[in-house]
Amino acid sequence: LIESVAGNTDFKLDHQFAVLRLLDETAQPYARKLAREYFTPHELNKFQENRLWLVLDNLCRHTAKAYYAVFNRYCSGDKGAAAIKAQLPLLAARAVYAMTGQLKYICAHYGPVNNTIWGNLAQLYRHAEQQQYLDTPLALYSGAAGNTTVKDELGRLLGWYGCGVNSLKPLYMHLTERIAGQYCSSIDIGAQQDANSLFGFDLDHPAAPVHIKAGVTVYPSMRFVGMAEMQPKLAALIKTLEKGAVPENLNLGGTYDAELVREAAQYLLNYLTTPPSRRSARRGVQVKLNVVNGFTKMIERTDIALDFSNEQPAHWDVEDISASGFRTILPAQGTDGIRIGSLLGVQPDGVPHWGAAVVRRLMRDDANRLHVGAEMLTNQITGVALSQSGGGGGGFEDGQPALWLQAKPGGSSGEAQLLMRADTFSANRSLQTQLNGKKYLLIPGRLQEKGLDYDLANFRVIEQESDPGVP
């Protein structure tokens, strides 16, 4: 229906806008329900995930296109334009809001972002700035808590997208977008660069917002996004979440565990205070990797496995590599299991041992090829069997396989990182294992990362001469 309204230029402009608003407002409660089902902490089956994504992506895409079509007709002076002049702030704000949703669902499937989005966004911003309605307060939808402005909605989109969303899992993409929306009134956009300018957006050459460094050449068409005022708000939110409580006024579009929300808020705060930078130089060296996906498949490649799988590893050609990770481009087919946070076993050709990596960035290009960026956890893993210190009990099954990560140069002595089966780590449970003929007591440190099928945890390691039976 929205698509048909957007393409029907026989409507007088004020009538077209009225019908579009009615359809959009009617769809909103259903769209929110489906979004709650899609952005869930629980793993969806592939069919349901794709079904929900198709509906939500189509709705946001067509809604954004429809609002921009109305905006375009207004700028062209079509019949009925004068009748909606007073509603321009609402028209522009809803267009930007729909574009935010469109971007979120593109990112959730790691798809390529059409530059048309950035071009349309630049036109909306330029018009709102010239006609001086950037800061006009409005109610975006009936029942929405508080007012917003065109500038707030632009700040939400540019600030959120600029914070490296292609390095997040879909659930965290959603949570960071909602948190950015909660505090979007504290995001500043202006023509003057200052010490707080974090991102730049060029109205004459629109593209994704880029991180701004001091001393760069500034053009009159540049607009700068600053998020310094959001930092204390995020810090205060994180303190509340650390107590296990999600503030009632924090609208996340659903009910989420406080720890999940805290991790999303902490990601944003970390990005704003210390934007990530490349830790080591990339080298143009071609390397062929054998690759397996998932904790269980990695265990099968070690001596600790009870049996060896006959399944052959995938073969990846890597041309962009550094000491801390690698990037590669994979064909469209055969990559369904790869996602942000996927645990990979990697073995360069000619190397006897396997290493471990985690997928940190994904993006599909126009040819549907998958661009994968992965962080190396270690160049060598060793399979070990874990038992609970002091005997059984406590719900821990002795003999569980795990992966001992060989320490990187400069790592702390007396500590070890282990990859364990998901939901195995406990901060209150010491473990025992053997490695290279020696017995070790593993005193839990912290859970460094939790994946779909693994826990990555730090332990303090004490070598033992004999079984001490430490409780």
More confident residue, 19 or 465: 19
Q: How far is Cα 80 from Cα 263, in angstroms, rounded to an integer?
A: 48
pLDDT (tens digit per residue) in 101-139: 999 999 998 888 889 999 999 999 999 999 999 999 999
Q: Which of 77-91, 382-396, 443-457 has the lowest mean pLDDT?
A: 382-396
> Whole-number mean pLDDT of the chain?
89
Separation of first and last alpha carbons in the chain = 67
Give the number of other CB atoms < 10 A from CB of residue 388: 19
Strands 438-450 and 400-405: unpaired
Cα dist. 308→260, 301, 380, 394 in Å?
A: 36, 7, 19, 30
Which distant-in-sequence residues (6+ apart) come within 8 Å of 346 by Cβ? 289, 290, 291, 354, 355, 356, 357, 374, 376
Q: Which amino acid, 228?
A: A
Reported as a pLDDT band with limits 50, 70 and 90, residue 385 is very high
pLDDT (tens digit per residue) in 44-92: 888 999 999 999 999 999 999 999 999 999 999 998 899 999 999 999 9
pLDDT of residue 336: 74
pLDDT of residue 309: 60
Q: In this model, does residue 339 exceed pLDDT 70?
A: yes
Average pLDDT estimate for 356-379:
89
pLDDT (tens digit per residue) in 299-323: 988 877 655 566 788 889 887 777 7
pLDDT of residue 408: 67
pLDDT (tens digit per residue) in 174-209: 999 999 999 999 999 999 988 889 999 999 999 999
pLDDT of residue 344: 94
Q: How far is Cα 147 from Cα 137, in angstroms, rounded to an integer?
A: 6
Q: What is the percent of the chain where pLDDT is above 90?
A: 61
More confident residue, 183 or 391: 183
Q: Which amino acid, 448?
A: Q
Which distant-in-sequence residues (6+ apart) come within 8 Å of 103 by Cβ? 113, 117, 157, 161
pLDDT of residue 401: 92
pLDDT of residue 394: 62
The two three-digit tokens of residue 25, written as one number: 């407002």
pLDDT (tens digit per residue) in 233-273: 999 999 999 999 999 999 999 999 999 999 999 999 999 99
Q: Which amino acid, 348?
A: P
pLDDT (tens digit per residue) in 280-290: 555 556 788 99
pLDDT of residue 269: 95
pLDDT (tens digit per residue) in 411-430: 566 889 999 999 899 988 99
pLDDT of residue 419: 95
Reported as a pLDDT band with limits 50, 70 and 90, residue 470 is very low
pLDDT of residue 471: 44
Three-class SS of 320-374: EECCCEEEEEECCCCCCCCCCCCEEEEEECCCCCCEEEEEEEEEECCCCCEEEEE
Q: How far is Cα 182 from Cα 206, in angstroms, rounded to an integer?
A: 26
Give the number of other CB atoms < 10 A from CB of residue 271: 20
pTM of the model: 0.83
Average pLDDT estimate for 455-468:
82
Cα dist. 407→299, 377, 379, 415 in Å?
A: 18, 9, 9, 9
Question: How does DSSP assign 39-87, residue by residue?
Answer: S-SSPPPHHHHHHHHHHHHHHHHHHHHHHHHHHHHHHTT-TTGGGGGGG
Reported as a pLDDT band with limits 50, 70 and 90, residue 410 is low
Q: How far is Cα 411 from Cα 130, in angstroms, rounded to an integer?
A: 56
